[in-house]
Structures are given as C-alpha cells and as structure tokens.
Structure 1
Amino acid sequence: MNKKARFWDRIASKYFQSPIEDEAAYEHKLELTQKKLATDSEVLEFGCGTGGTALRHAPYVKHILATDISEKMLAFAEQQKAEQGVENVTFQQADFDTLTAPAGSFDVVLGMSILHLLADRRPAMGKVRDLLKPGGYFISSTACLGNKLWFMAPFLWAGRMIGRLPLVRIFTIRQLVDSVRDAGFEVEHEWVAPNGNSVFVIARKP
C-alpha cells in the first residue's frame, strides 16, 4: 500500500483544491445515489479521496465508513468533516484489498472513480458483493478509457514508470458493465454524461 499511497499523498493538496470537472454530472450522480439511501443505511465508500462525496451523502444515512489509502487525502477529509460538524462519517486509512468487515455489513457500497485504478477490478467486485446485504446496492462511477482514449495506453504506462501517474486500467464501458454483471449483480441503471468517458452504474445484489 505504501507505494500507491505515496503518489496520492503527493497530489492530495492539488487534488483537494481542484474544482469538480463536470459539476452538473456530479450533482446528477449524487441525486441518483441518494434515491437508494435511507436513514437507516449503513454505507461503505472505498477510495473516498478527500471525502467530499461521503460528506454530501451523510445527511441521508445512518453511518458511512469511508476509506482511502492516502493519509494526506484523509487529512483533508477530516478537516472538512470538522468544519461541517458531521458526526456519522468515519474516515479510515485502508486498502480495499485488506479491509475487513463481516459479510453482509452494508446496505450500499460506493466506488467512485476507483475501479479503473485497481490492478484487477473483478476480485474487488466480488468483495463488494460479499460485504453487501441481500438487496443492497453497489454504486460506481468509472473512467472507461477504452472507448475513445485507448491510444493513451503508452503514455499512461510511461507516466506510471516515472512516478507521475498511478496505475490506470483501460477497458470499455461495455466491458465494465459486463464485469459488474459477471460479479453477480443486477444492473439497474447505467448513465454516461454527455461527452464523458465515465459510466455511472447502479447495481443490485439479488
């Protein structure tokens, strides 16, 4: 985890200060997500970054456990939590691979802008399925560079080799959605923002 964490620690301040790229799309995804939340919901978000999404959802749920590998990202998350007086979000430094929780612990699991950064998304989806209660939701937003930006692969590899970029997996929207189904989920909704390269997916564990 240390090598991965160092990259995100290094860019944490710039990341925190950067504006959301597509504010309208972000708000739309928040709205769709909140339709699946309830005041008694136990929620997990992995790869939470600086915590903005978890804090936006906090008023609608019982509790959110939000995890990230970067200590410095989480420092910004804790800062915002204190400033906003939020009490039902717990930020925890953890790699999703090693995160431990009893099976069926959560009503909703969020993976926002994270699946394309994993070495293999399939085991992660299997773990999400195990952590969800029956009828629970896995909600994700994922960059799918294989549709339009496949030619970026050599540049992404080179950037990673010199430590300027993280690991980025390239796959298409269809490949991503198919892998969600293959993990045992029923895909209820998928949405791609206009001119976007990311797919937002709401999937239900039977």
Structure 2
Amino acid sequence: MKNEATFWDNISEKYARDPIRDMAAYEYTLERTRSYLKSEDTVLEIGCGTGSTALLLTDNVARYHGTDISDGMIKIARRKVGETSISNLSFEAHTALDGIYAHDALDAVMAFNLLHLVRDVPATLNAAHAALRPGGLLITKTPCLKSASFKFQVMFKVLPIAQMLGKAPFVQFFTETAYDKMITAAGFDIIESGNHPVNPPNRYVVARKR
C-alpha cells in the first residue's frame, strides 16, 4: 500500500490541476448522486482525491467524511475546505478499507473512479455494506476497463511497463456484468445503473443495502 500511496502523493498537485475529461458525464452523475442524498444524512466518500466532488455535495447532507490513501491528496482537500466556511466536511488519510472501518451508521458510502484501483473489491464492498444503516446506499462510478473498445485495449498493453517504472498505479480489469455481480453478492440491490461515459464504460451504480 505504501507504494500506491507514494504514487498518488507524487501526482497530487498535477491531479488537482487537471481538468475533468468528460464534464457532461461528470455533471450528470453528480446530479443523480445529489438526488439520492438527504439533508440529515451522514455520508462517506472513499478515494475522495483532492475533495472536489465532496465540496460540491457537502451542502446536501448533514455530515460528509472523505478519505483517500494519499496524504498529498488529503492535504490539498483540507486546504480547499479551509478556504471556505464549510463546517460539516472532514478529510482523513486512509486506505479504502480503513476509511470504511473508521466509520459506521452511514447513510451512504460513495466511491468515484476508485474501485478499479482497489486490490480487493469484494472486501471493500462487504465493508461498505457493514458500515451502512439498513437501507443505506452504495453510490459508485467505476471504469469497467475489460469492456473498453479495441483502441483502449491496445493502449492498456503498455500499462505493466508503466507500472514497473512507477508511472501508473495498480489497476483491475472487469466487465460491467462482473462488477454488478460483485455488488449484488455483497448484499445490495441495484436501483440505478448506466455507463457515463460509454467508452471506456464508466459504470455508475446506485445500490441499496438489503
């Protein structure tokens, strides 16, 4: 985990400056997420990065916790929130699992562009299920890279070399079907799903704890 944290620490400032690649898809799923949140909710976002999405959603809930494996990302997130008057938003440096273990009685667990970077997706989903209140929501957006077009598959061939050189993180490849099955196997019922964008498919899923 240390190497993964170091990778994200090293690119944290660049990550904070980079524009969102598909703003239309981002804004659509942001609004869909906002529609599920309630003013009395306590929510957790794992893999929150530099806190950009958290800052946009925190007004919709009572308490918002953001965690990320990277101290560098969290420092930037804290700097951002320190420039506002927001008081219901906190950031902590944790792995995905430790971030979930640090909280309970949650109304929603959210993970955006994260779970394909997690080594044990089923364990992460199971932990999220345990941390949620009955009927709580899992809201995720996850690239399903095994379903990407041929053009992207060719690009992915160089990934192992980039990883060996420390220029790319650990990445998992799975299809939308396999991802949906992992969610339902963890004890959730999917109530909304779609790919935004379509290629490579970035799977948006809202699922309710059974």
Q: TM-score, normalised by structure 1?
A: 0.94
Task: Name the structure 2 match of 1:165.
Answer: 168
- Once the 2 structures are TM-superposed, how far is the Cα of residue 150 of structure 1 from its aligned partner? 4.0
- Once the 2 structures are TM-superposed, how far is the Cα of residue 86 of structure 1 from its aligned partner? 1.4
Asked if the contact 1:101–1:131 (Cα under 8 Å) also holds between the matched residues in 2, the reply is no
Letter in 1 for 2:142: T
In structure 2, stretches of 5+ residues that fail to align are none
SS in structure 1 at match of 2:166: coil
Letter in 2 for 1:201: V
Please give the residue correspondences for 1:35-74 in structure 2 after superposition, counting only pairs within 5 Å.
Answer: 35-74=35-74
Describe the superposition over 1:167-190 as per-residue Cα deviations: whole angstroms up to 9, x where unpaired: 000111111111111111100011
SS in structure 1 at match of 2:96: coil
Please point out which of 152, 156, 161 is paired with 2:159.
156
SS in structure 2 at match of 1:196: coil
| Whole-angstrom distance in 2 between the partners of 1:85 and 1:79 | 12
SS in structure 1 at match of 2:33: helix
Letter in 1 for 2:190: V
Task: Name the structure 1 match of 2:179.
Answer: 176
Structure-2 change in CA distance of 1:150 and 1:122 (3 Å)? farther
- Once the 2 structures are TM-superposed, how far is the Cα of residue 92 of structure 1 from its aligned partner? 0.4
- Once the 2 structures are TM-superposed, how far is the Cα of residue 194 of structure 1 from its aligned partner? 4.5
Letter in 2 for 1:200: Y
Letter in 2 for 1:101: A
User: Which segment drifts farther, 155-164 or 121-130?
Assistant: 155-164
**Is 1:116 equivalent to 2:116 in the alignment?**
yes
Please give the residue correspondences for 1:11-160 in structure 2 after superposition, counting only pairs within 5 Å.
Answer: 11-99=11-99, 100-101=101-102, 103=104, 105-148=105-148, 149-160=152-163
Task: Name the structure 1 match of 2:194.
Answer: 191
Asked if the contact 1:185–1:205 (Cα under 8 Å) also holds between the matched residues in 2, the reply is yes
* RMSD after superposition: 1.4
Letter in 1 for 2:111: G
User: Which segment drifts farther, 56-65 or 93-102?
Assistant: 93-102
| Whole-angstrom distance in 1 between the partners of 2:130 and 2:155 | 34
| Whole-angstrom distance in 2 between the partners of 1:52 and 1:194 | 19
Structure-2 change in CA distance of 1:113 and 1:40 (3 Å)? same
Structure-2 change in CA distance of 1:120 and 1:151 (3 Å)? farther
Letter in 1 for 2:14: K
In structure 1, stretches of 5+ residues that fail to align are none
- Once the 2 structures are TM-superposed, how far is the Cα of residue 12 of structure 1 from its aligned partner? 0.6
Describe the superposition over 1:82-121 as per-residue Cα deviations: whole angstroms up to 9, x where unpaired: 2222111100011122333364x10000011110001120
| Whole-angstrom distance in 2 between the partners of 1:194 and 1:26 | 9
| Whole-angstrom distance in 2 between the partners of 1:130 and 1:153 | 34
Asked if the contact 2:29–2:196 (Cα under 8 Å) also holds between the matched residues in 1, the reply is no
- Once the 2 structures are TM-superposed, how far is the Cα of residue 68 of structure 1 from its aligned partner? 0.5
Count residues with an aligned counterpart: 205
